Amino acid sequence: MKRLMMILISSLSIMIFLAGCNEVESAPKVQVNQIMDVSQYSKITSDELTDKLGEPLRKDDWIQKSNNGQKYLATSFNYEVDDYPLEIIVIDNAVVRINILTSENAENRFIIDVNKDIFALSGIKTNVNMKTLVEDTVTLRYSLDNGTVSEVLANLEGKEVSFLRVTFNSSYF
């Protein structure tokens, strides 16, 4: 019995020693840089938009058909901010959506560590009412309804964000 106890204690001591010598290095956490604070564009007028960003590179008028069958006159204001193409959609003289094509800027790619990093990327503050709609390897989609942002959608290529869409008012879509 004594011999069995000595073997057990010796084995346990060796295992503890070996575990203490085994250094595990974790990957460094990715620092997420904010593209822009999209919340500042929530529901502002087209005049306020041009005051902030100047005249767009291009403006396109088109008809947006919502899920409920309603049709709305929409205008896309196309900008390039910090080498990122932006499409800002205005309906009823209010910004209702921003699309950011992040993959177009090869020198400043946006890599995220965890899925929720897309909020830091776009300057969006989350709340307890946030719901995950889709969270897989290619698409992230969250419903926020926080008074400023209604929905966030991101397309991924691995851990790189290739497209980011922020909707301020979902009733038009």
- Single out the residue of 91, 96, 147 nearest to residue 124, CA to CA: 147
| Secondary structure letter of residue 66 according to DSSP | P
Q: In this structure, is residue 115 part of a structural domain?
A: yes
Query: Tell me: the pLDDT tens digits for 54-93?
Result: 999 999 999 999 988 999 999 999 999 877 889 999 999 9
Integer CA distances (angstroms), 12 to 8, 15, 106, in order: 6, 5, 53
Domain that holds residue 117: 38-172
Question: Does 11 fall in a domain?
Answer: no
Alpha-carbon span 48 to 2, nearest angstrom: 84
Contact 98, 88 (CB under 8 A): yes
E strand spans, 4-117: 58-65, 71-81, 84-91, 94-100
Count of domains for the chain = 1
Q: What is the pLDDT of residue 27?
A: 45
Residue 72 within any structural domain of the chain: yes
Token pair of 10 as six digits? 């010796």
Give the least confident one: 1-15, 56-70, 78-92, 159-173: 1-15
Q: What percent of the chain has pLDDT over 90?
A: 46
- The reported pLDDT for the residue numbered 76 is 97
Residues 6+ apart with CB under 8 A from 3: none
Write down the pLDDT at residue 111: 81
Computed from CA positions of residues 80, 84, 90, 93, in that sequence, does the dihedral angle turn out positive or negative?
negative
Read off the pLDDT of residues 104-139 as tens digits, 9 standing for 90 and up.
666 666 788 888 888 988 889 888 889 999 999 999
**What distance in Å separates the CA atoms of residue 10 and residue 67, rounded to the nearest whole number?**
70
* Cβ neighbours around 68 below 10 Å, total: 8
Helix or strand or coil: residue 23? coil
pLDDT at 8: 54
What per-residue confidence (pLDDT) applies to 4?
A: 55
Average pLDDT of the chain is 83
Whole-structure pTM value: 0.77
Residue 25 inside a domain? The answer is no
- DSSP-assigned letter for residue 15: H
The answer to the question of residue 17 being in a domain is no
Identify which has the larger pLDDT, 16 or 39.
39
Q: The tokens of 107 are what?
A: 């020198």
pLDDT average, residue stretch 36-54: 93
- C-alpha 119/C-alpha 138 separation (Å) is 16
Residue 4 domain-assigned?
no
| pLDDT score recorded for residue 26 | 45
